Chains A and B, each alone.
Chain A
């Protein structure tokens, strides 16, 4: 199994630009989670989906952030417009069933200049 696949692994962009991060969950998993990690705030849950439906987006910092899951094998996290304070590592994770173990991707390191 390929595991959770995230792209890009690294992204450097300028303030004001749109950023799209992508995630392919493990096949057969029906829950998907987006996390953000910074030195100051640690690992924060941004949003999670169950069966492609957003369940809780209360962790999304502001309206500049949006996430979609158009089908069971793909999700995106979009930041528009990006700001330097959005610089972080963004992790995607998936799990099978409600209480299943979470499998994390390798993360997407975002730097906004």
Chain B
């Protein structure tokens, strides 16, 4: 699986948009970009994923650059409950990997009042 690079930490004011960047310059054509988050003492939670096009769901938006070498997760109106570690993962959704997830160090997002 391709490697991802994320900033170790970020801050965001409550109510503002949180934009979390991720670099995945070695991504291959059959690999998806996934985002998970882990709130303290809980198991990781799925947020969103995409292949080429931008995606949006009730939690967040995912913007993937045209060359697919980087992406940005957007939490449009961050709340204190969004404070967590956010993991950007490149995942081969099939083949011999059986969809396993390989976690990096992630970005610690702190949302402050």
Contacts and interface: CB of A to CB of B under 8 A. Distances in A.
A43 B32 CA distance: 20
Interface residues of B, number: 22
Given A31-B98, A98-B93, A98-B99, A107 B104 contact: no
A103 B102 CA distance: 14
Contacts of B44: 43, 91, 93, 102, 104
Contacts of A43: 44, 87, 103
A43 B85 CA distance: 12
B100 A56 contact: yes
Interface of B is mostly: loop
Nearest to A4: B43
Interface of B: 32, 36, 41-46, 49, 87, 91, 93-94, 98-106
Interface of A: 4, 31, 33, 35, 42-45, 48, 50, 55-56, 91, 93, 95, 97-107
Task: Name the 10 nearest CB pairs between A and B, nearest first.
Answer: A104-B43, A99-B93, A43-B103, A101-B46, A98-B99, A99-B99, A104-B44, A98-B94, A50-B98, A91-B43
